[in-house]
Amino acid sequence: MYELDEADRRLLRAMQSDSSRSSTDLAEIVGLSQPTCWRRLQKLRESGYIQREVAVLDRELLGFGAQVFALVKLTTVGRANLAGFAEAIRALPEVVECHVLMGSADFLLKIITRDIHAYERFFFERLSSLDGVQDITSSVALSEIKPPTGVPI
């Protein structure tokens, strides 16, 4: 496994804040030559430290005003089929994140819809009708204080 040094960490921090920068710009920010910076970026990608590069979109400008977090508890029978539930969740575009939990709930979902009425339809028509769902506790996010865009390296 490729071992990170401080220059790699500076490079990863710079990439997390804006991955659209050129290797020349990144090299200047992190204090490396452009060829060295480019080689390190390639090594970080090949080693899996950089999994992919994406654009962070403004959901509200795109018309998605509701952000809901849902704790999902499965029945005992449903827990036997965690993979089936996970597969069903992957097929729902409204669910933008899904985490398996330890504790009283089995999954934490981050759901984005156009508005609360759209979430209500999604809840009753799709989410609550999935096989094995026993209970869903939903919390509507009022605002976002610290968006999830990076790892604290």
What tens digit of pLDDT does each residue of 2-23 get?
899 999 999 999 999 999 999 9
Structure tokens at 10: 């500076």
Q: What is the pLDDT of residue 153?
A: 85
CB 20 within 8 A of CB 31: no
- CATH code: domain 66-140 is 3.30.70.920
User: Does the pLDDT of residue 28 top 80, yes or no?
Assistant: yes
Q: pTM (2 decimals)?
A: 0.87
Handedness of CA 61, 115, 130, 104 (dihedral sign): positive
Q: Mean pLDDT across the stretch 52-58?
A: 91
Question: What is the torsion angle, in degrees rounded to the nearest 10, for the CA atoms of residue 6, residue 12, residue 16 and residue 17?
Answer: 50
User: Does the pLDDT of residue 77 top 80, yes or no?
Assistant: no
The residues of the chain that CATH labels 1.10.10.10 are: 6-46
- Residue 19: how many other CB atoms lie within 10 Å: 15
Q: Mean pLDDT across the stretch 77-87?
A: 84
Of the pLDDT bands very low, low, confident and very high (cuts 50, 70, 90), residue 82 is confident
What tens digit of pLDDT does each residue of 118-129 get?
999 999 999 999
CB 45 within 8 A of CB 36: no
pLDDT over 70, % of the chain: 99
CATH fit for domain 6-46, picks 1.10.10.10, 3.40.50.2300, 1.10.275.10, 1.10.3720.10: 1.10.10.10
Q: What is the pLDDT of residue 150?
A: 78
- Residue 122: how many other CB atoms lie within 10 Å: 20
The residues of the chain that CATH labels 3.30.70.920 are: 66-140
Q: In what order do the strands lie in the sheet with 95-100?
A: 95-100, 107-113, 66-74, 133-140
User: Does the pLDDT of residue 53 top 80, yes or no?
Assistant: yes
Q: Closest Cα to residue 109, out of 98, 118, 119, 101?
A: 98
- Residue 27: how many other CB atoms lie within 10 Å: 21
